[in-house]
Amino acid sequence: MMLAPRMRPVIAAVAGVVVFAWIVGQQDLWVRALSALFPGSVRPVYPAATVAELTLQHLRLVGISSGLTLLVGIPLGIWVTRPSGADFREIVSASVDFGQTFPPVAVLALMMPILGFGLWPAVVALFLYGMFPVVSNTVAGLEAVPGTLIDAARGMGMGRGRILLAVELPLAARVIMAGVRTSVVINIGTATVAAAVGAGGLGDPIIGGINVQNMAYVLQGATAAALLAIVADGLLAGAERLLTPRGLEA
């Protein structure tokens, strides 16, 4: 009974994923819809790959880059709020800030001479671009934990690691998850530019469509990417809700 309100967004998100997977899998549906929207077009659907294939490529790109962002960003945010990392706090904030203001297309261009074409320059660009919300929310979440609670925890004999795991992270979880959500959702959209360096994904029909002046391709890629972003947002919102400790719910 108590679980129901918490589970509702999660159930909705899972339903969203199922519907999305179904839509993506129906290549016929895309052909029919795009043909109807672009009646004059000879080829209204991107021919090189199915929507399902493009979506999987996109997911791989986002999965690897966002995975790395979380793997590096959360520990980095934790570290700069510890005494040992406090000195690096400003540098880290400035760098992740810069990482986000710097256009990912420019990062791609700069990475090409080093990493060449393909997946990896795109991963690096997206990884850097997504850091800001993760690091800054991790720092903000940890910093919002009242000093009196840490003091109480210390006074009861908890060590630093224990305080982090049992007090700070649970209390910061909601804010950290909000950063993760922002980062991933932005990444899904931004990852479409990765097609420019041949990383594939839903950017392929968009960039291909621009090149051959076929707006149907552009609409196809953009719609799929937008749906993916909405579904991912819902899923992460559900996770955010689940990770919020009960005692903090309004």
Partner 1 sequence: MITLRDVTKSYGEVTAVDRVSFEVPSGEVCVLIGPSGCGKTTTLRMINRLIEPTSGTIEIDGRDIMDSRPEELRRHIGYVIQSVGLFPHLTVAENVATVPKLLGWERRRYEPKALELLEIVGLPPAEYAEKYPRQLSGGQAQRVGVARALAADPPLLLMDEPFGAVDPLTRERLQAEFARIQRELRKTVIFVTHDVDEAIKLADRIALMRAGRLEQYDTPETLLDHPASKFVHDFMGSDRALKRLGRACVADVMRTDVESTTDGTRAIPREACTDSRFVYLTDESGVLEGWVDCRVLDAGTPPEDAGTPVDWREAAVHPETTLKDALSRMLGFGFRNVAVVDAQGRLVGEVSLAAIEATMADADTHIANLEEGEVLGALPDEEARS
Name the site residues for partner 1 (rule: CB under 8 A). 146, 148-149, 151-159, 162, 167, 170-171, 245-248
| Neighbour tally for 166: CB within 10 Å | 12
> 145 vs 196, which CB is nearer to partner 1?
145
> 113 vs 159, which CB is nearer to partner 1?
159
The distance of closest approach from Cβ of residue 205 to partner 1 in the complex, given in angstroms and rounded to an integer, is 46
The distance of closest approach from Cβ of residue 175 to partner 1 in the complex, given in angstroms and rounded to an integer, is 13
The distance of closest approach from Cβ of residue 59 to partner 1 in the complex, given in angstroms and rounded to an integer, is 33
> 118 vs 170, which CB is nearer to partner 1?
170
The encoded tokens of residue 160 equal: 């630093």
The distance of closest approach from Cβ of residue 242 to partner 1 in the complex, given in angstroms and rounded to an integer, is 13
d(Cα 170, Cα 178) in Å, to the nearest integer? 14
Q: Which residues contact 54 (CB under 8 A, 6 or more apart)?
A: 46, 200, 201, 202, 204, 205, 221, 224
> 114 vs 250, which CB is nearer to partner 1?
250
Tokens 């945010």 -> residue: 77
> 169 vs 232, which CB is nearer to partner 1?
169
d(Cα 203, Cα 220) in Å, to the nearest integer? 10
Answer yes or no: are the C-beta atoms of 117 and 198 closer than 8 Å.
yes
The conformation of residue 95, written as its DSSP 8-state character, comes to H
First-to-last alpha carbon distance for the chain, in angstroms, is: 17
Answer yes or no: are the C-beta atoms of 34 and 45 closer than 8 Å.
yes
Q: Based on DSSP, count helices (H) and strands (E) in the chain, helices before strands.
A: 12, 0
